[in-house]
Structure 1
Amino acid sequence: MPQHYPFSAVVGSDDMALALTLSTISPAIGGVLVRGEKGTAKSTMVRALASILPPIDVIAGDRFSSDPREARPLSPDGPFAPDADVETRPVRLVELPVGATEDRVLGSLHLEKALSEGVTEYEPGLLARAHRGILYVDEVNLLHDHLVDLLLDAAAMGRSTVERDGVSVEHAARFVLVGTMNPEEGELRPQLLDRFGLTVEVAAPRDPATRVEVVRRRLAYETDPDAFAARFADDEASLTDRIQAAQKLVEQVDLSDWALLKIAEVCAAFEVDGMRADIVTARAASAHAAWNGRTAVTRDDIRAAARLALPHRRRRNPFDAPGIDEDLLDRILGDDEPEPPVPDGDGEAEADEDAGPDVSADTPSASPSERQGHGEGEPQAQNPTPPQAASDQAQGEADSSAGEADSSADQTAGGTEDVTVASAQQPYRPKLFTVGGTGAGESGRRSRAITETGRRIGAAPRTGQGGSIHLTETIRAAAPHQLARGRATGSGGLDFRASDLRLAIKEGHESNLILFCVDASGSMAARRRMEQVKTAILSLLMDAYQRRDKVGLITFRADGADLALPPTGSIDIAAARLADLPAGGRTPLAEALLKTADVLRLERVRDPRRRPLLVVITDGRATYGDRALERAHQVAAHLGATGVASLVIDCETGKFKMGLALQLADHLMAEYVPLGEVSASALTEVVKGAA
């Protein structure tokens, strides 16, 4: 069976195929990020990419794939003789697992030789293997922060530096970084997002005929892989030849002053941050021109480059949907394109011959007959529009007196339910809050914890397979036993046993789960207070996105509780769920606490290492069902007995207060915070103080 599904056989991923191809023509573009729902052939196409790339020349025997044309290759295996042997090999596609260790990525001391022979030797990692190739990260949005930092350093410098465990090594690490992700599972750190030169949004085709063709090809591949690969062998070879021709031609492409000005106008109009967008767009336009056999950048080249280089750079915050206005792009580019110069010789004709009769000039993945229903003009799937700021909307009449009136209506049997929907204001940057104590959760950027990354604070005997070796403590553990093991003084290296190995204990930071349980009944003066609560949650979500936390939201009103926002790190999904959150009606407090207990129990099974903080926002009233208040206090006592860290924010207003939220806090064994109004700034301050 062929190792991968043929690249040219993938149906309906034209933009993705083009972005990947342009990045291989000009690796300086900076790689590709592919965002899309599950089951859209993201991984299939990336893994097939290496099979259509032209082979490369490397110095024979060099573990770091040095280019023999370089005068001074940056390789620990060097220096090399001028007449060193050269070998040709395929381009490597190296996959970086989400759970990889830092040693595996950077490389480290060759432990076996160090322990048995006393030799300090560097063992290369994944970055060294990916040099001059493709580094692929599936589910890149789930990558641990310490690995993200390593990729950022390598991408910025084009080299990897290792200074650890007695090893001091520097080697070249230039690669095409390709990441795929499902936005539903969380967003990407802004620093890494900006490092991707191009981004593509993919979605499953909606045209039934196209879906049929996808299924037909996949079944044919699984039935007879060799025959299926042979069917597309000519297309694969044509793509390889065309990429090779474009790689040679791209250095000759003329980026005129007119083209540079248009690129600058486009980037300025879309208000992108920094200058990287201009540079990437210029490189991508040049690569697109070379891909089409031209030596001058045209309007179409700039348009194709801008569609891929700008969408992820115009986002002001994680709530903004990716994408650009293509009508605005066309208006900026205009039609006043100067006549391109005629290329010298037969370069354009040769490029056309290399392309083959069945390869589209704009789309490298399939012939025109195989791309029916997927023309350039087909609309691309976009994420739902996020909620807009509500600063220009009226606050409503939900003040303190209105809140008490709603309370009376809430407790009147058979009363008409008045339901309102409040909008969040513009989110802001909240202050940092942490959960107290030292946890042992997943690596993050918030609360103190014992993690796989961070500073060393001790060592412990190895009890499993994972972990970072603490070399000094391992030697210290083995030294007292050398005479008993038959090693005389001065006889050579140490005799190590498995029981001598010590793993480093590291203190870093973990991510947490912040679970809000919000009273959305009529007694909360819902319009004004829910607006402020939503704003606080959206702000905390933005902060959680940067710190790798999860945030969830339970609301209760009328006759039950609703998990409005399941624990998530996805900002886009969170914003969409919060936008239409209703408020009004009775107060089913007991049902809300039962729902909260279920959510926490399920999350404890799913993610047992992540510590939660429960934030209950209510006035303490319970008006739904028989013995409503008594049942609520019984459930609260049961939930408090589980030991979950919790906080009750009292939202009761008016001159005469019943003190029900204080009673709830006592039963819940939670910290009680009297708060006249649930203002966004006060809410985040209270959560911070609960740490």
Structure 2
Amino acid sequence: MRPYPFTAVVGMQDLRLALVLSAISPAIGGVLVRGEKGTAKSTMVRALAGLLPEVEVVEGCRFSCDPARPDPACPDGPHAGPAIRRPARLVELPVGAAEDRVIGSLNLERALAEGVTDYQPGLLAAAHRGLLYVDEVNLLHDHLVDTLLDAAAMGRATVEREGVSVSHAARFVLIGTMNPEEGELRPQLLDRFGLTVEVASSRDPEQRAEVVRRRLAYEADPDAFASKYDSEDAALAAEIEAAQQLLPSVGLADDALRQIAEVCASFDVDGMRADIVTARTAVAHAAWSGRAEVSTEDIRVAARLALPHRRRRNPFDAPGIDEEQLEQALRDAEPPEPPEPDDDGPGSGSDAPSEPSSGEAGDGGEQPAGGAGEPGEQRTGAGTPFRARVFRVAGVGEGERGRRSRAVTESGRTVGVQPPSVRAGKPHLVATLQAAAPHQSGRGRSGPGLVLRKGDLRYARREGNEGNLVLFCVDASGSMGAKARMREVKAAVLSLLLDAYQRRDKVGLVTFRAGAAELALPPTISVEAAATRLDALPTGGRTPLAEGLLEAARVLRIEQLRDPRRRPLLVVVTDGRATSGPDAVRRSQAAAGLLTEVTSVVMDCETGRMRLGLAAELAEHLGGEHVPLGEVAADSLAGAVKSRLGRAA
């Protein structure tokens, strides 16, 4: 079945251009495509491979060496075979891929027994001189993303195992797609992608109807549908190849370089990567447009694609770029045109604002829908997020890789050796030698190397860090409704969420008020969605404490099934009052009994001279720690969580 044609995709002009420019100049550093599900991100990426020119490779080389410039360090070299042509490859990297599958692996048994380097190439080798596609790149483990981006930047992949090192060329166009609702990339990783594009489904009924019409036609007869676009795809492929040929001769004058520097400086981006990527993109756009020199229009297009994800100061900032600021920066740096005798006036093209990118996210998206609400309901915004202190869950877990608590992981420092029956992680060389050495005489060893058996192999037990789940259960009833108090609670939750985002934790929020409890924030690392929902959290009504604890127990139970290795911490923020429903206090105590196996902290928000001490009683029923607070201060909340877990450790 033929893939969906690239030119058959409706709309998506920004994404189309970014992919084409990256294909023309792989040195740009690839494309990160951000957008909601169902917006043809994967369809366009998979279709792009069919537009790329064929590559000439050395026959039999597993690393796709160019016959004209073979890699001197190629593990399959030196090359003397004939050259063949083949289509450019699209290699897809699964989210759950192991490190050895990505960068390749060394056969330790052959290295010890025969003294040879037996290297099996991975996905990076397969993608050399082609495309490497990672769907849901934001869900990929950080160390794998680091490996991919390092290889994309350096053009080489290196594998080192127990003193043996193998390196090979790995130049590819890296394309990642992600849904921001499922979590963000760390800023350090985000910056490493050359270009970024925000995509969204069209709101035009005619365009949406055309999308459905074409998709149904393709599913009914893929080959017949694709054949209708053969000429358009072929024409686009020829244009890409022509731009690739023109690219080395495109000039980048000093005036254009100053414009690029002015634009990047005006957006206050960190480092010099933005300037370099913008320059490369502008050169590629000039080649795509058939120009021999970079123009202001090329710089304008390049800045729109290279800067939006670099101007974000923290994950709460909305992506996008200020068009007026961009135009002003271009005008400020544009060199004056020399006067000419019969000049009718300045040209009209270079400074005119163009249509905004269809994929820009704007200044924060839609606001939550309003409504009359309930009597006495209030809405209080969050205070300014702060840098939360580090907290860790006690003991050693076995959770997903993160940057928080101690855990047994696949990478990290070696703390022991796994028994022979446990084939996990990387082989432990010394332990393997110790296991095999006593048996060499009995196995008839007569030459160099060791006679190994499978039972000799030992595997390293490694300890690193895991991510955790911090679930807040917040009383949003009328007794908690003081604006200053709720503002500090929200600021604390947002601050810990920001810290969790950086450390790969999950954070969730359960609220209870007005007779019911709800999951206001499902466990997530998506800080943008969290900021929006928390900012709109209302307060008011009676205090259904039992319902809040029952909802917290339900959420933790589901998360235990969904993510059994992620250890939780429950933080209950309340004054301890239970005023909703019959037998409110007794039902609250019973609900607390369901959570005694979970590490918990009760933040006491009771104020005033006459205090009932109900939050302290709740902490006893939970088996957790009671932290009395005169007010719910953000720094006190975050510090108390850290203090509780630090003492448990």
TM > 0.5 fold call: yes
CA contact (8 A) 1:386 1:576 kept: no
The aligned amino acid for 2:19 is L
Query: Which residue is 2:607 aligned to?
Result: 653
Q: Distance in 2 between matches of 1:429 and 1:284?
A: 36
Residues 81-160 of structure 1 mapped to structure 2, 5 A cutoff: 85-110=82-107, 113-114=110-111, 119-160=116-157
SS state of the match for residue 319, structure 2? coil
Q: Distance in 2 between matches of 1:644 and 1:386?
A: 37
Question: Is 1:557 aligned to 2:513, yes or no?
Answer: yes
Which residue of 1 is the match for residue 46 of structure 2?
A: 47
Q: CA deviation at 1:562?
A: 1.9
Give the Cα–Cα distance (whole angstroms) in 1 for the partners of residues 327 and 561 of structure 2.
51
The answer to whether the 8 Å contact 2:159/2:167 transfers is yes
SS of match in other structure, 1:195? coil
1:590 maps to 546
Q: Does the CA contact (< 8 Å) of 1:556 and 1:589 recur in 2?
A: yes
Alignment match of 1:521 (pick from 474, 477, 481): 477
- Opposite residue 44 of structure 2, the aligned amino acid is M
Q: Which residue of 1 aligns with 2:200?
A: 203
Q: Which amino acid is 2:635 matched to?
A: S
By how many angstroms is 1:202 displaced?
A: 0.8
- Structure 2 vs 1, CA of residues 38 and 116 (structure 1 numbering), >3 Å: closer, same or farther? farther
**2:156–2:171 Cα contact (<8 Å) kept:** yes
Query: Distance in 2 between the 1:149 and 1:490 partners?
Result: 44
Matched, 1:470 2:467: no
- Distance in 1, Cα, partners of 2:481 & 2:206: 53
Shift of 1:658: 1.3
CA distance in 2, matches of 1:685, 1:299: 51
Does structure 2 retain, via aligned residues, the 8 Å contact 1:554–1:562? yes
Moved more, 259-268 or 19-28: 259-268
Q: Distance in 2 between matches of 1:136 and 1:450?
A: 30
Across the aligned residues of Structure 1 and Structure 2, the Cα RMSD in angstroms comes to 2.6
State the SS of the aligned residue for 1:505.
Answer: strand
Paired with 2:614 and 2:273, the residues of 1 have a C-alpha distance of 56
Cα distance in 2 for residues equivalent to 1:516 and 1:679? 15
Matched, 1:443 2:423: no
Instruction: Give the drift of 1:247.
Output: 0.8
Answer whether contact 2:474 2:511 (CA < 8 A) is retained.
yes
Contact 2:319 2:360 in 1 (8 A): no
Match of 2:293 in 1: 296
Q: Which ranges of structure 1 fall in alignment gaps of 5 or more residues?
A: 341-374, 389-415
The answer on whether the counterparts of 1:527 and 1:583 sit within 8 Å (CA) in structure 2 is no
Q: Secondary structure at the match of 2:600?
A: strand
* Of 200, 210, 213, the match for 1:213: 210
Shift of 1:71: 7.6
Deviation at 1:587, TM superposition (A): 1.2
Partner residue, 1:236: 233
Q: Distance in 2 between matches of 1:11 and 1:165?
A: 51
- 2:273 and 2:580 mapped to 1: Cα distance? 57
Query: Which amino acid letter does the alignment assign opposite residue 167 of structure 1?
Result: V
Does residue 385 in structure 1 map to residue 364 in structure 2?
Answer: yes
Task: Indicate conservation of the 8 Å contact 1:384/1:576, yes or no.
Answer: no
- Aligned pairs for 1:485-496 (under 5 A) are 487-490=443-446
- Structure 2 equivalent of residue 406 of structure 1: none
Quick one: structure 1 residues 45 and 112, their matched pair in 2 at CA, closer, same or farther if it must change by over 3 Å?
Answer: farther
What is the TM-score of this pair, normalised by structure 2?
0.90
Kept after mapping to 1: 8 A contact 2:12/2:358:
no
Alpha-carbon distance in 2 for matches of 1:661, 1:687 = 16
The answer for the alignment partner of 1:541 in structure 2 is 497
Residues 1:285 and 1:491: Cα distance change in structure 2 (over 3 Å): closer
- TM-superposed CA distance for 1:48, in Å, is 1.5
Q: Secondary structure in 2 aligned to 1:587?
A: coil
Q: Structure 1 counterpart of 2:472, which letter?
A: F
Match of 1:580, as an amino acid? A
Deviation at 1:28, TM superposition (A): 1.3
- 1:85 shift after superposition: 3.3
Cα 1:468–1:384 change in 2 (3 A) is farther
1:501, CA displacement in angstroms? 4.3
Query: Which amino acid in structure 2 is aligned with residue 49 of structure 1?
Result: L
Query: Is the contact made by 2:56 and 2:86 (CA closer than 8 Å) also made in structure 1?
Result: yes
- Could you tell me whether the CA contact under 8 Å between 1:109 and 1:165 is conserved in 2? no
Q: Is 6-15 or 155-164 further displaced after alignment?
A: 155-164
Cα contact 2:445–2:451 (8 A) shared by 1: no
Shift of 1:636: 0.9
Instruction: Report the CA distance between 1:334 and its aligned residue.
Output: 4.2
Give the AA of the match of 2:103.
Answer: L
Quickly say closer, same or farther: Cα 1:211–1:497, change in 2 above 3 A: farther
Q: CA deviation at 1:146?
A: 1.7
TM-score by length of 1: 0.85
Bigger shift: residues 137-146 or 418-427: 418-427
Amino acid of the residue matched to residue 504 of structure 2?
A: R
Percent of residue pairs bearing the same amino acid type: 65
Query: CA shift at 1:120, angstroms?
Result: 3.1
Deviates further, 497-506 or 613-622: 497-506
Q: Equivalent residue of 2:238, what SS?
A: helix
Work out the CA distance in 2 between the residues paired with 1:678 and 1:541: 17
Kept in 1: contact 2:70–2:79 (CA 8 A): no
Q: Give the counterpart of 1:458 among 412, 416, 429.
A: 416
**CA separation of 1:100 and 1:464: change in aligned 2, threshold 3 A:** farther
SS in 2 for 1:249: helix
Deviates more, 1:511-520 or 1:211-220: 211-220
Q: Is the 8 A contact 2:65 2:71 kept in 1?
A: no
Helix, strand or coil: the match of 2:460? strand
Q: Which residue of 1 aligns with 2:348?
A: none
Give the equivalent residue in structure 1 for 2:303: 306
For 2:177, the equivalent position in structure 1 comes to 180
Q: Is it true that 1:37 corresponds to 2:39 in the alignment?
A: no
**Closer, same or farther: CA 461–44 of 1 in aligned 2, 3 Å:** farther
Contact persistence 2:625–2:644 (CA under 8 A):
yes
Secondary structure, aligned partner of 1:536: helix
Residue 621 of structure 1, CA deviation: 1.1
Shift of 1:435: 0.5
Q: 1:630, CA displacement in angstroms?
A: 2.0
CA deviation string 1:568-613 (max 9, x = no partner)? 1001100110111111222111111111111111111111111000
Q: In the alignment, is the contact (CA less than 8 A) between 1:522 and 1:585 conserved in 2?
A: yes
| Deviations 1:186-222 (CA, angstroms, capped at 9, x unpaired) | 0001111101110001111222222222222222222
Question: Secondary structure of 1:690's match?
Answer: helix
- Tell me the residue number matched to 1:575: 531
Instruction: Give the conservation status (yes or no) of the 8 Å contact 2:152–2:173.
Output: no
